[in-house]
Structure 1
Amino acid sequence: MLAPLAGCTSEQPSTPQPQSETETKGPAGPVPAGLDRFYAQPLTWSDCGPYATSDDARSLLSTKGLQCARLTVPLDYAAPQGDTITIGVLRHKASGDRIGALVLNPGGPGASGIVAAASLAGQVSSSELGQRFDLVGFDPRGIGASQPEVSCLTDQERDTERTEDLDTDGSPAGVAKQEAEAKDFAVKCAQRTEHGAAMLANIGTRDVAKDMDVLRSALGEQKLTYLGYSYGTRIGYTYAEAFPKNVRAMILDGALDPNQDETDSLVAQGAGFGVAFNQFAAWCAARPDCALGPNPAGATKAFQDLVRPLLDNPVRLNDGRELTFDDATIGAIQALYTQQLWQPLNSGLNELKSGRGTTLMALADQYNERDSSGHYTNTQDAFTAIRCVDDPRITNKTEILNAENRYDQVAPFLDDGRPNGAALDSCAFWPVPNTSEPHEPKVTGVPPVLVISTTNDPATPYEAGVNLAKAMNGALLTFEGTQHTVFLQGIPCVDQAGTDYLVNGTLPPSGKRCAGQ
């Protein structure tokens, strides 16, 4: 699932950066054989406007003090003399006694690091972190401003797909139709993405980690200081395994369990959303306008009673679209990522009672990154493309059906009430093999990392952070709350602990816990 972009703000640093500048530093740190020209490349920093790929990005990237550049990397690191691609990069310069660059990734996979860094820039500019570090975000290969981008479905095709509720039909005919669409999606990704199968074969985390080391050198950093949220934790531990001597410091917030396979990970995520829904239901029940009623124990049935009728009778909206069961539940999932969206979720469910679906559709659009013009970012296309090469494909239908049944048990509010099927997903038809698989990273020689895990994280369960901290021989900071990721999101205890670690290398004491406000 997608991680939220934290701390969006319109605050602007007082001193604008130059419109364009080229920095030539030569390679920094070790350079793998045959990659000298990439590691030694200069970065030409300029206005960020051309890097915007959505309404939100256009607004954020117009903020003064932001600079963008393109980093050139090999399409295939096994053939560095062959085709090249570019990575979009954004920075906000340190305002004080600079330590170096803090490179971040917001997760997904498929989310834009450029947008995430831009949204955080104003928030951290006057903080100790903003004084000591350049804040640097990048769009991983194939995503957002990086070129070429993964391209599978058109905007119209994505809208049409959302009207079909295909995955609620577990009948043999329904499964056959789901698999036909899954295969068609895989074919379109290969046909419509520049470099085709070669790009899809080299889109995974294995290659993103290599790109990040090129970026480290191009930024002039001997060692990498990194902040990874959600799926960004996988990028972090993959980098640490590949380049253990190149790590200065690393915060991994909202961890993916490195040992967990795809089905167990999805079921664990479902359990996380189940807990978050129960937390929402308890919050809602104390309100006189609670759409699910005053008894939290009845909230699951109340939710099902509201959304299941959409399977047969979607709600038509003023813009001509229809709110389907899938969109209503995706809207709910989006709201469960953060308590800041609980009020809109309650409002949307109250609207649904009177046959309106505007707010739930807006939440679903936010999840799917559809803007006011009807344009989608390529996040969902990239999410699938990366997932299909990051993990082995699942073709055992008994395993698939078992996972779907387990998911319904741990997240019953999302159960559509119909028998599950066992449809193969797009990864089963992917034109290239996976390039990595779940395993405990071997990180001998990596300095201690800081893992932050939230007790009621809906998307990346708390135990995943516990397991990653053990695997990385790192420190664990526990946040007691219900949201997905927490660092730099306004919790002083967490923000100070993370800042002390990044600036001074000081890890929090063993067993350190922070409570929500």
Structure 2
Amino acid sequence: MTKNKSRAGDHPGRRRWKRIATVLPLLLVAVACNSGDSEPAAANAESNPAEFYDQQLEFGSCEGFAVTPLDEQAFASDPTIECSRLSVPIDYEDPAGGTARIAVLRVPARGEAQGSVVLNPGGPGYGGTHMAPMLGAAWADTPIGEDFDLVGFDPRGTGASEPALDCYTDAMRDDDATPGSLVGDGSVDPVPLAERCADSVGGRDALAHFGTRDAARDMDVLRAALGDEQLTYVGASYGTRLGPVYAEMFPQNVRAMVLDGAIDPQLGTVDGRILQFSGLQRSFDGMAEYCAADPACPLGTDPSKAATVLHETVRPLLDTPLPVSDGRELSFIAAIDGILIGLYSEEIWPVAIDALARLQEGHGDALLALRDGYQGRGADGSYDDSLEASLAIKCADEERLDPAANAEYLTALITAAPFLDSGKDLGDGIPSHCEGWPGEPGLPGPYATDIPDLPTTLTISVTGDATTPHEGGISLAETLDGSLLTVDGNQHGTVLAGNSCINEVIADYLIDLTAPAAGARCSL
């Protein structure tokens, strides 16, 4: 069960950017490698009132549901799409205390539907409505779309769902205000992220309920509103955390789960992120080796010295950002973000290499364009809220580190991925951007372990995945006592690849619940 691998051509550069940008948000499931095991919250009729479970979705026009250019492109690709909104309580322990409205998009089955496949593209923070028409296209040659409605939804706080997390102005985003990039100068936004996000969702009490466990409860309400006795689910990257958390909370409601680009459920916040950064380093090393075959490689012809060459190229931007078009500047943070995008797929390596070469010539526009794709910046200068939602959801989930522990954590990340080292002292007391977050963390350690009577799941893991390394996929399959499809390649995730080998495995599993044999492999 293999397919010959098609390698990217030599340095096609910016002419490929438009095509890559179409799928980039699904590749950019940025920094989703953390996990948890607090005691699962009770999931029963008392905390999930019948008024929410008994609602019936009324599907109709999708006008107003597209909030990003990717949404608009995906929605326009399929005239059969239809949209609705699902009502859920902000706080399941206080269902009368406020309601969120979840955006839902359905691509109806081409034949007689035996149920729905609920989809999550990753993040956290990315809306998922666009995933339904995009997967419909990727699975066009399979019977999946004949037998199932494809249902994408924007998890609470994201996309077209209401309320949506919004923590920074566009001008602040242009100035690299969002935390998370590793500069290492010890600077901290004096206004905590929680304060910036709270007003957008109704205050601090509401902000405490935008984590993965609340999203899993919403997904069970969605399952019921769709009329499905059990959930059939496909999740990518962060979706491989949301799915197992759902399975932990509602094991009796699981029919099937495809988990693509898997996060290791056994690792907590720190260890999970260190694993991810080691994957980024491996991808950088792979890109450097690929580049070194060209005598004009901007990283040099000796891959062992590529990180040093990168540092010499981008560290000057710490003190002197490079002016680019429209009066903007390429900062060190923006340059690093642009390079990180290039590591998500071997297909994007040539674009990042070309952008780095242009930077060495004194032109930062190409690298800034990569950064803008990651940050969700539109041509009009406005940003979508996916990155802000990602930060907020992770703060709701993760272990909260004190300043000393956070400094150790950041040092460990640089040790795992030295190509990201700014050369500046991280110090010994750097506050976490999650400091002061309301509520208790929902996923501070291992999760989804020892789930009773869970049906067989299907984990798909790419051997050269930069952000969810293959070790995590092996661990997830073992933790869930499920099946594993190993995919040989260098990219993050596979379900949108349109690969016939992978599609065949997924179709057999989703339709007939036939899992692949032990040791099954495909190639990209």
What secondary structure, in the 3-state scheme, does the structure 1 residue paired with 2:104 have? strand
Once the two structures are superposed, what CA deviation does each residue of 1:389-447 show, in whole Å capped at 9, x if it has no partner? 112201151x3233222222221211112222341122122133323332242311110
- The one-letter code matched in structure 1 to 2:329 is E
Equivalence for 2:459: 451
169 and 435 in structure 1: CA distance in 2 versus 1, 3 angstrom threshold = closer
Q: Partners in 1 of 2:266 and 2:324 — Cα distance?
A: 43
Work out which of the residue numbers 43, 52, 61 in structure 1 matches 2:57: 43
Provide the TM-score with structure 2 as the length reference.
Answer: 0.88
Alpha-carbon offset, residue 254 of structure 1: 1.4
- 2:345 matched to 1:371? no
Equivalence for 1:32: 45
Work out which of the residue numbers 368, 373, 398 in structure 2 matches 1:391: 398
Equivalence for 1:143: 158
Work out which of the residue numbers 471, 484, 501 in structure 2 matches 1:476: 484
1:225-374 → structure 2 map (5 Å cutoff): 225-374=232-381
164 and 386 in structure 1: CA distance in 2 versus 1, 3 angstrom threshold = closer
5 and 185 in structure 1: CA distance in 2 versus 1, 3 angstrom threshold = closer
- 2:410 matched to 1:404? yes
Q: Note if contact 1:103-1:137 (Cα within 8 Å) is conserved in structure 2.
A: yes
Work out which of the residue numbers 502, 509, 512 in structure 1 matches 2:517: 509
- 2:206 matched to 1:199? yes
Equivalence for 1:54: 68
Q: Partners in 2 of 1:472 and 1:502 — Cα distance?
A: 17
- 2:430 matched to 1:416? no
Q: Partners in 2 of 1:505 and 1:304 — Cα distance?
A: 49
Once the two structures are superposed, what CA deviation does each residue of 1:75-95 show, in whole Å capped at 9, x if it has no partner? 111122331110001111111
Equivalence for 2:4: none
Share of identical aligned residues, percent? 40
348 and 113 in structure 1: CA distance in 2 versus 1, 3 angstrom threshold = same
- The one-letter code matched in structure 2 to 1:87 is I
Structure with bigger RCO (C-alpha 8 Å, 6+ apart): 2
239 and 4 in structure 1: CA distance in 2 versus 1, 3 angstrom threshold = farther
Work out which of the residue numbers 78, 81, 89 in structure 2 matches 1:74: 89
Alpha-carbon offset, residue 470 of structure 1: 1.2
- Gapped regions of structure 1 (runs ≥ 5): 8-29
- The one-letter code matched in structure 1 to 2:45 is P
Q: Partners in 1 of 2:130 and 2:367 — Cα distance?
A: 24
Equivalence for 2:11: none
Alpha-carbon offset, residue 207 of structure 1: 0.7
Structure 1 residue runs of 4 or more that deviate by more than 3 Å after TM superposition:
3-7, 162-167
Q: Note if contact 1:165-1:324 (Cα within 8 Å) is conserved in structure 2.
A: no
1:30-179 → structure 2 map (5 Å cutoff): 32-33=45-46, 35-63=49-77, 64-161=79-176, 168-170=183-185, 175=186, 177-178=187-188
Q: Partners in 2 of 1:49 and 1:438 — Cα distance?
A: 40
Once the two structures are superposed, what CA deviation does each residue of 1:438-483 show, in whole Å capped at 9, x if it has no partner? 2242311110101111112111111111111111111111112111
Q: Note if contact 2:138-2:497 (Cα within 8 Å) is conserved in structure 1.
A: no
Higher mean C-alpha displacement, 55-64 vs 352-361: 55-64
343 and 405 in structure 1: CA distance in 2 versus 1, 3 angstrom threshold = same
166 and 300 in structure 1: CA distance in 2 versus 1, 3 angstrom threshold = closer
- The one-letter code matched in structure 2 to 1:319 is D
Q: Note if contact 1:278-1:296 (Cα within 8 Å) is conserved in structure 2.
A: yes
- The one-letter code matched in structure 1 to 2:165 is V
- 2:501 matched to 1:493? yes
Q: Note if contact 1:5-1:116 (Cα within 8 Å) is conserved in structure 2.
A: no
- The one-letter code matched in structure 2 to 1:112 is G
- The one-letter code matched in structure 2 to 1:93 is P
What secondary structure, in the 3-state scheme, does the structure 1 residue paired with 2:58 have? strand
162 and 344 in structure 1: CA distance in 2 versus 1, 3 angstrom threshold = farther
185 and 69 in structure 1: CA distance in 2 versus 1, 3 angstrom threshold = same
Alpha-carbon offset, residue 199 of structure 1: 2.1
Q: Partners in 1 of 2:305 and 2:443 — Cα distance?
A: 43
Q: Partners in 1 of 2:306 and 2:442 — Cα distance?
A: 42
Q: Note if contact 1:163-1:324 (Cα within 8 Å) is conserved in structure 2.
A: no
Alpha-carbon offset, residue 336 of structure 1: 0.8
* Root mean square deviation, CA, Å: 2.1
- 2:394 matched to 1:380? no
Q: Partners in 1 of 2:445 and 2:384 — Cα distance?
A: 28
- The one-letter code matched in structure 1 to 2:65 is Y
Task: Count the aligned residue pairs.
Answer: 483
- The one-letter code matched in structure 2 to 1:408 is I
Q: Note if contact 1:104-1:227 (Cα within 8 Å) is conserved in structure 2.
A: yes
138 and 165 in structure 1: CA distance in 2 versus 1, 3 angstrom threshold = closer
Alpha-carbon offset, residue 322 of structure 1: 0.6
60 and 515 in structure 1: CA distance in 2 versus 1, 3 angstrom threshold = closer
258 and 133 in structure 1: CA distance in 2 versus 1, 3 angstrom threshold = same
Alpha-carbon offset, residue 295 of structure 1: 2.3
1:215-234 → structure 2 map (5 Å cutoff): 215-234=222-241
Q: Partners in 2 of 1:272 and 1:164 — Cα distance?
A: 21
What secondary structure, in the 3-state scheme, does the structure 2 residue paired with 1:428 have? coil
309 and 275 in structure 1: CA distance in 2 versus 1, 3 angstrom threshold = same
Q: Note if contact 1:6-1:119 (Cα within 8 Å) is conserved in structure 2.
A: no
Q: Note if contact 2:116-2:149 (Cα within 8 Å) is conserved in structure 1.
A: yes
Once the two structures are superposed, what CA deviation does each residue of 1:11-43 show, in whole Å capped at 9, x if it has no partner? xxxxxxxxxxxxxxxxxxx97245212112121
What secondary structure, in the 3-state scheme, does the structure 2 residue paired with 1:439 have? coil
Q: Note if contact 1:106-1:228 (Cα within 8 Å) is conserved in structure 2.
A: yes
- Gapped regions of structure 2 (runs ≥ 5): 1-22, 28-42
- The one-letter code matched in structure 2 to 1:284 is C
Higher mean C-alpha displacement, 387-396 vs 284-293: 284-293
